[in-house]
Structure 1
Amino acid sequence: MGGWAGISSGRKRDAVPVSRLRQLSDGPTGVRQGSAWPAAGKRPGSHPRRGPGRSAARGVVAAALTAALSARSPDSGRTALQSPALDPAPGCHGKVCEGKDPLHMACGLPGRADALGPPHHTGTGASVEIRYSPVCAAAWGRIWHSRVGDALEISAPGAPPRRVVITDEADTNAYRFTPMLGGPEQDDVLLCFIPTGDMARECFRP
């Protein structure tokens, strides 16, 4: 549509680009998730006095965005904001997923994957679990609270094992995933935690 949203003001050139609409609705760019917003009246670059024309324009923009992004739920009758962008389609299915990244293939999105069995807590304090996506018909391993040098390996009969190794301190406080097994029998999947050092591996089934 060219990236412009028109706002009626009596002049044709008062169209506002979509990027400007997003800036007005989302607040200042560069604010990272989890960070605190500046206190009211102290936002960087703000001015204490604004003209009435600018306030009216912001009101029209806010109303337009609310109308565009809101939809009424058919079940509850409540109005909830919806994302204008749809989730990407899965990038693979079954054997085609073999060895691929579950995130890049959009197999691990919310609602597309779940744990096969409970999470397992290892002797070093790391936690691991088997993930499975029925949409992609693929399985992979997930690890968190790990240490640098730890490894996680997932395997199934008829397929090469897939492994992820923790190589960076930043990864110890994040979820890390193995590449996927494409189309395995769920009961045949084996997940093994291989700790750094001389400690024995710990293996789990669904």
Structure 2
Amino acid sequence: MSFAQLSQKTHYAKSSWERWVNGKQFPPRDAVESLAGLCGTPSAQLLDLWDRAQAEREAGIGPGAGAEEAEGAEGASDSGGASDAGAASDSSDASAAGAASDPGGAPDDAAAPETGGTPPRRRRSRSLWIAAVLGLVLVVGGALAAYFTLGFVGETSSPSVKVAGPQTGCKGTGCEDKDPKKMNCGADAVTVRTGSIPKDLVIELRYSRACQAAWGRISFAEIGATVVVNNSDGAAQADVVHYDRDVYSPLIAAPDDGSVWVCAALPKDKARSCTGRFIPSQED
């Protein structure tokens, strides 16, 4: 499964998934939980790893601790990401670590204590970080297996067999103001309209046939940017980027004969950019 496909089935941009899976940036807790939910995998173990790693980051002893500003400014560039090698090493094991780390090394490398070995807390931090990344890779591997298995079954099944849609927590107007992820509307969601505004901010209109609802998502945004999803019945739902660079709105009903669309704006910018309108009955 590509990062683009993963992005379509969750509520995060493909660039964000690339940074998280490759260990360039610490993933948000919701992203780990959404990936586990997508694969039908119990999330408790992955979330426990995330909680422990986050606690160490906040204590200033984990990989990437104190690098939040650098992560936020990373944007689409891959050159500033953190090394997969994680924690710093001293001069005695620098030659061994050199083969596994990025050429530039992580910022902590220069500050490594010269006491004849990696401190125990840093070794535990590195193990937690590697375990978390491997956990994500295993979950993605499970998604790949499910994808190809389901695809094979779909090709060999009898045409007369009707496959039921995903189980969802709401439908139509009953979805108003609810979270697409919690309602499982992302299970069959597709991006039906896109748009953009200056500074490469990407606008997406996401639609779920099973939920008969839609929502808006923006990526490569900045803190304070807003996204608003509207329908022809006059309803609207909005959200604001509070951290990172992505955000999605609550759900809005998408009637078969009605239309839905998404608008977005940068902070302190009165001008809004919108996608085209989507009418389910005409294109579904």
TM band (smaller chain): 0.5 to 0.7
Q: Specify the alignment match of 1:30 in structure 2.
A: 49
Alpha-carbon distance in 1 for matches of 2:242, 2:214: 23
Range with bigger deviation, 124-133 or 180-189: 180-189
User: Secondary structure at the residue paired with 2:214?
Assistant: strand
Paired residues, number: 135
Unaligned runs of 5+ residues in structure 2 are 1-44, 54-83, 87-96, 101-122, 125-144, 157-164, 278-284
Q: In the alignment, what sits opposite 2:219?
A: 144
- For residue 192 of structure 2, what is the amino acid of its counterpart? L
Tell me, yes or no, if the aligned pair for 1:149 and 1:195 is still in contact at 8 Å: yes
1:8-157 aligned within 5 A: 30=49, 89-109=167-187, 112-117=188-193, 119-157=194-232
Describe the superposition over 1:141-172 as per-residue Cα deviations: whole angstroms up to 9, x where unpaired: 0111001111010111224210011122x2x1
Q: What TM-score, normalized to structure 2?
A: 0.40
The answer for unaligned runs of 5 or more in structure 1 is 1-25, 46-68, 78-86
Change (3 A) 1:106 1:74: closer
Matched, 1:162 2:237: yes
Task: Report the Cα distance in structure 2 between the residues aligned to 1:201 and 1:185, rounded to whole angstroms.
Answer: 26
Give the AA of the match of 2:173: K
Name which of 234, 259, 262 aligns with 1:191. Answer: 262
Shift of 1:203: 1.6
User: CA shift at 1:190, angstroms?
Assistant: 2.3
C-alpha distance 185-192 of structure 1, shift in aligned 2 (>3 A): farther
Per-residue deviation, residues 66-116 of structure 1 (Å, max 9, x unmatched): xxx998966899xxxxxxxxx97211111111111101101012xx11011
Equivalent AA in structure 2 for residue 147 of structure 1 = E
- Structure 1 or 2, whichever has the larger Rg, is 1
- The residue identity in structure 2 corresponding to 1:30 is L
* Equivalent-residue separation in structure 2 for 1:181 and 1:126 (angstroms): 22
Greater strand share, structure number: 1
Cα separation, 2, equivalents of 1:164 and 1:186? 26
Instruction: Give the 3 Å change call, closer, same or farther, for CA 120–30 of structure 1 in structure 2.
Output: same
Paired position in structure 2 for 1:201: 272
Structure 1 residue 191 displacement after superposition: 1.1
CA contact (8 A) 1:99 1:182 kept: no
Structure with the higher helix share, 1 or 2: 2
TM-score normalized with structure 1 length: 0.53
Q: 1:74 to 1:92 in 2, by over 3 A?
A: closer
CA distance in 2: counterparts of 1:74 and 1:153, whole angstroms: 39
Shift of 1:186: 6.9
- Would the aligned equivalents of 2:195 and 2:273 in 1 still touch at CA under 8 Å? no
